[in-house]
Amino acid sequence: MRIVVLAGGIGGARFLRGLKVAAPDADITVIGNTGDDIHLFGLKVCPDLDTVMYTLGGGINEEQGWGRTDESFRVKEELAAYGVGPEWFGLGDRDFATHIVRTQMLAAGYPLSAVTEALCERWQPGVRLIPMSDDRVETHVAVELDGERRAIHFQEYWVRLRASVAAEAVVPVGAEQAKPAPGVLEAIAAADVVLFPPSNPVVSVGTILAVPGIREAIAEAGVPVVGLSPIVGDAPVRGMADKVLAAVGVESGAAAVAEHYGSGLLDGWLVDTVDAGVVDRVTEAGIRCRAVPLLMTDEDAAAQMAREALRLAEEVRA
Ligand code: FO1
């Protein structure tokens, strides 16, 4: 079975770890969000690609969900001693090596997709990880700070401000001109099922879908497209989905997110058991819906969620 997954960071990576257990023989292609990418200290940092790569390759810091295990911050301390920031973004020494290799390869002329493939040779994530695009796309968030409207990088919104101010708009800068990376459209066309993990529907899955051609390829693939709600009750399981959903005028709820994707894209939707009450609303929107436990407390729970998603895909197909 060929499965295509559109993944953001922590939620996407943990779901993928479960999917590998649930479907050990499947051929899994992950289309990774690169809107969170940031240039720091002259280096290109790709948080979502790295989170997927480290999580599936056994190198992730499990408590944080991002960055390397057994990490130290000597380089960051030295940079700070020179007065070189930003001090709010935690790049560890081991993680730095990844960004140095990536930046060196990009400077040598390799596209991000080839660089990601090369990095994955070390990590052996057991999936094919492709960035959504080789072109630069950067998610910016419009906020009001000190009485002034400003557009800031998504990482500044999330890591420095901890999403403490309202997001007035979310813009994937560069997405309109971006092309899907080599292999993205081919993987979608060859897929038996497409899955949206419980990743952020605006700044993760939404950014991938904003690359011209990707949404259309999924809608036209003629295979089941099944998603899992990142909202349980009325709050995101992690992250700031509620804040960025408000920016695009969508209420923070499992049904509203399904409607936001829409029946033109989504065939099936899993909500948590606490949201069983919205199953009828989602069904009325033309999307087959089930309520199952959706908290990825451990790998078994993530595997069970993946099984439920694949089961719903089969129901849709039948
Ligand atoms: N998240 C934080 O909350 N604080 C950090 O200092 C931080 C640094 C960081 C460095 C590398 C990396 O790959 C991820 C990092 N993250 C950090 C996670 C990241 O900000 C977001 O969780 C994702 O971009 C959202 O998917």
Say which CATH number the domain at 197 has: 3.40.50.10680
Question: Is the CB of 261 inside a 6 Å radius of any atom of ligand 1?
Answer: no
242 pLDDT band (50/70/90 cuts)? confident
Residue 166 lies in a domain: no
Residue 236 has pLDDT above 90, yes or no: no
Alpha carbon distance 34, 299 (integer Å):
25
Tens of pLDDT, residue by residue over 258-274, are 999 999 999 999 999 99
Tens of pLDDT, residue by residue over 77-126, are 999 999 999 999 999 999 999 999 999 999 999 999 999 999 999 999 99
Residue 293 has pLDDT above 90, yes or no: yes
Residue 282 lies in a domain: yes
Q: Can you give the pLDDT at residue 167?
A: 95
Residue 15 lies in a domain: yes
Residue ranges making up the domain that contains 191: 2-36+47-57+112-133+177-317
Residue 122 lies in a domain: yes
Alpha carbon distance 148, 59 (integer Å):
41
Residue 150 lies in a domain: no
Residue 262 lies in a domain: yes
What average pLDDT is seen over the chain? 96
More confident residue, 242 or 151: 151
Query: H helices within 91-240, ranges in order?
Result: 93-107, 112-123, 154-155, 184-190, 205-209, 214-220
Number of domains in the chain: 1
Residue 5 has pLDDT above 90, yes or no: yes
Question: Is the CB of 96 inside a 6 Å radius of any atom of ligand 1?
Answer: no
Q: Can you give the pLDDT at residue 240?
A: 81
Residue 246 lies in a domain: yes
Residue 218 lies in a domain: yes
Residue 234 has pLDDT above 90, yes or no: no
Question: Is the CB of 113 inside a 6 Å radius of any atom of ligand 1?
Answer: no
Q: Can you give the pLDDT at residue 239?
A: 78
Question: Is the CB of 9 inside a 6 Å radius of any atom of ligand 1?
Answer: yes
257: Cα within 13 Å, side-chain hemisphere: 34
Question: Residue 260 Cα, ligand 1 centroid: separation in angstroms?
Answer: 26
Q: What's the CA dihedral at 94, 100, 106, 108 to 10 degrees?
A: -130
* Residues in binding site: 50
Residue labelled with tokens 């950014």:
207
The best mutation among 51, 66, 91, 152 to test binding of ligand 1, ranked by most ligand atoms within 8 Å of the C-beta, falls on 66
Tell me the pairing of strands 193-196 and 225-228: parallel
Q: Can you give the pLDDT at residue 109?
A: 98
207 pLDDT band (50/70/90 cuts)? very high
The best mutation among 87, 159, 161, 199 to test binding of ligand 1, ranked by most ligand atoms within 8 Å of the C-beta, falls on 159
143 backbone φψ class: left, alpha, beta (φ>0; ψ -120 to 50): beta
Question: Is the CB of 156 inside a 6 Å radius of any atom of ligand 1?
Answer: no
Residue 229 has pLDDT above 90, yes or no: yes
